[in-house]
Amino acid sequence: MKKILKFLLSRTFLFGLLIACQVGLFAALMLVFSRAGTVAYIILTLVSVLVVIAVIERDNINPAYKIMWLLIVVALPVTGAVFYLWWGNQGVTPKNARKFADIERAASAAMVQDDAVTEALYAREPAFRRSVEYLSRNASAPLYCNTQSEYYPMGQDFFARFLEVIRGAKKYIFMEYFIVEEGEMWNETLAVLKEKAAAGVDVRLIYDGFGSMFTLPGDYDEEIRRAGIKCHVFNPLHFSLHISDYKMLNHRDHRKITVVDGETAFTGGLNFADEYINRKQRCGVWKDTGLMLKGPGVYPLTVTFLKMWDFVAGTTTPYTDYMPLGEYEADGYVQPYCDSPLDGEAVAESAYLNVLQHARDYVYIVTPYLIVDNEMVTALCLAAKSGVDVRILTPGVPDKWYVYYVTQSYYPRLLEAGVRIYEYTPGFVHAKMYVSDDREAIVGSANMDYRSLYLHFENCCAFYGGHMVRDVLEDVRATLAESHEVTMADVLRTPLYKWLAQVFLRFFSPLM
């Protein structure tokens, strides 16, 4: 039943339904045109023009995204407009926009940069100034030193350390995830959370209403609250007669954050489902990565969680009350940051572009999905053509065949420019990472696709120098060693049916 419901609510089914409606509409219009052709033509034209204008006037929408919707609206009058209003329109209701803006202002005021930290980094590595300043100015993300970090190359490594830390929680445990699925990983976690809540620890959970729709019962949040855990679902899907209620349908909480007592935090690419720790075989070996922070650098992750909590719970939190107290010896700098689809700033993509633009020797990229805009493709190609060793690692076994087809459709242009592409032979890689020049790395939740870069709430950590950069580099190199390097000969062997499917699917790539 869940599989049937998942299909009925999928974009593929909904788009197919609208096409069927369009065919029916054209059949009806044949009859209408025979009686009142001029009036019907004017109405159809007016509807299409109005929606086209609505798409064009949105300055903060990526051009490729605009072009796709313009073609859909023109090709499918009326139903194309309905589909855009339901699924393509980025934004929120005025009430929610004001709510988010108020929360962001309060959080930004609580994020204060210690200038001595930035100046110390700039004195050592002036090239980092642009990346650090961009995130500081546009994502309210301070730079931190004196923050210890640990890197986990596989989900099972992460999970063992995660359980150890949450069992020692004294004050609070905050968790925010896109997918939570009942199984060994979540059940073991939930047992600890219940025990801690019973002992008086403030345990809070946010999970995404769409990401967890088919992995949890519809009333699961109520069950969690009965266990003494504070719980809210972000943007749950519900049916409404008011179109405004669907304005946030596209915006999902894709973040992965756990904060323990304000002193320790976990993040990375992992959700809470058994494939992430390889206790369930879904796509061969599931490669995902995580990290732990301990010290002052935890604070931005705490505030990121509390911002979303204030939105879903309707509370107002004094963020500065949650500043960590301890400092730890560290050999590098960390800059945790988050991205919101509602502020008109593509923080996650810009952070990636900054790494590409000031790379001198190499940039290695790990991503489960490669569905990028022209700006990103141009930056990748320019770096490779300029002599930078650009390598991209993608899955060898896909979790979604159609997304995999679109990912592979970018290979020819990238290979021609000198970008080297690898596919992870043992299975599926879900990690999202950049590492460059032995000195900079990014690990987090943001995929290289339209949904992560433009539509989802995301969070990442940028690292400058220190062992974290070395650890990420070592892991990426080890993973590349067990992956297949794609060649132009491989691309030229693409079957005709697959090439045609790629051409068709590429057109709809901004929906993926």
Q: Where are the beta strands (DSSP E) in 71-178?
A: 148-152, 172-177
**Same domain, residue pair 65 and 173:** no
**Average pLDDT over the chain, rounded to whole?**
88
For residue 93, the model assigns a pLDDT of 76
Is this model's pTM higher than 0.85 or not? yes
**Same domain, residue pair 81 and 140:** no
pLDDT at 281 over 70: yes
- Which residue segment(s) compose the domain that 371 sits in? 94-511
Mean pLDDT to the nearest integer, 404-416 = 95
For residue 92, the model assigns a pLDDT of 72
- Please report the sign of the dihedral spanned by the C-alpha atoms of residue 399, residue 213, residue 5, residue 11: negative
Please compute Rg for the chain using Cα positions. Answer: 23
Residues 316, 289: Cα–Cα separation, whole Å: 33
**Same domain, residue pair 275 and 362:** yes
Output helix, strand, coil percentages for the chain, rounded to the nearest 5: 50, 20, 30
pLDDT tens-place string over residues 21-72? 655 655 665 555 555 556 666 666 676 676 666 666 665 666 766 777 777 7
pLDDT at 86 over 80: no
pLDDT at 133 over 80: yes
Residue in the structure block whose two tokens are 């650890």 = 471
Mean pLDDT to the nearest integer, 103-114 = 95
CB atoms closer than 10 angstroms to residue 425 = 14
Angle at 34 between CA 33 and CA 38, to 5 degrees: 45
Q: Which two tokens stand for residue 394?
A: 């993608």
**Same domain, residue pair 309 and 451:** yes
Mean pLDDT to the nearest integer, 436-461 = 95
For residue 509, the model assigns a pLDDT of 74
pLDDT tens-place string over residues 18-34? 566 655 655 665 555 55
For residue 33, the model assigns a pLDDT of 53
Mean pLDDT to the nearest integer, 115-142 = 95
3-state secondary structure of 224: helix
pLDDT at 363 over 80: yes
Strand 433-436 and strand 427-429: the pairing is: unpaired
**Same domain, residue pair 337 and 205:** yes
Q: Which two tokens stand for residue 124?
A: 């050592």
Per-residue pLDDT band for 6 (boundaries 50, 70, 90) equals low
pLDDT at 283 over 60: yes
pLDDT at 149 over 70: yes
For residue 8, the model assigns a pLDDT of 55
Would residue 209 count as lying in a domain? yes
Would residue 122 count as lying in a domain? yes
Would residue 315 count as lying in a domain? yes
pLDDT tens-place string over residues 197-255? 999 999 999 999 989 988 999 899 999 999 999 999 998 876 655 555 566 777 899 99
Q: Which of 68, 88, 108 is the last residue of a domain?
A: 88
- As a whole-number percent, the residues of the chain with pLDDT over 70 amount to 81
Determine which helix (DSSP H) or strand (DSSP E) holds 482, and give its type and residue range.
none
Please state the domain count of the chain: 2
Contact 76, 19 (CB under 8 A): yes
Mean pLDDT to the nearest integer, 370-386 = 94
- As a whole-number percent, the residues of the chain with pLDDT over 90 amount to 69
Would residue 215 count as lying in a domain? yes
pLDDT at 182 over 70: yes
**Same domain, residue pair 112 and 255:** yes
For residue 62, the model assigns a pLDDT of 67
What torsion do the CA atoms of 126, 127, 133, 134 make, to the nearest 10 degrees? Answer: 170
For residue 247, the model assigns a pLDDT of 63
**Same domain, residue pair 71 and 131:** no
**Same domain, residue pair 79 and 139:** no
Of 153-162, 367-376, 413-422, the range with the lowest mean pLDDT is 367-376
For residue 73, the model assigns a pLDDT of 72
**Same domain, residue pair 261 and 400:** yes
For residue 200, the model assigns a pLDDT of 97
Would residue 338 count as lying in a domain? yes
Would residue 4 count as lying in a domain? no
Task: List the beta bridge partners of residue 151.
Answer: 291
Higher pLDDT, 428 or 327: 428
- The CATH number assigned to the domain holding 469 equals 3.30.870.10
**Same domain, residue pair 244 and 389:** yes
CB atoms closer than 10 angstroms to residue 49 = 12
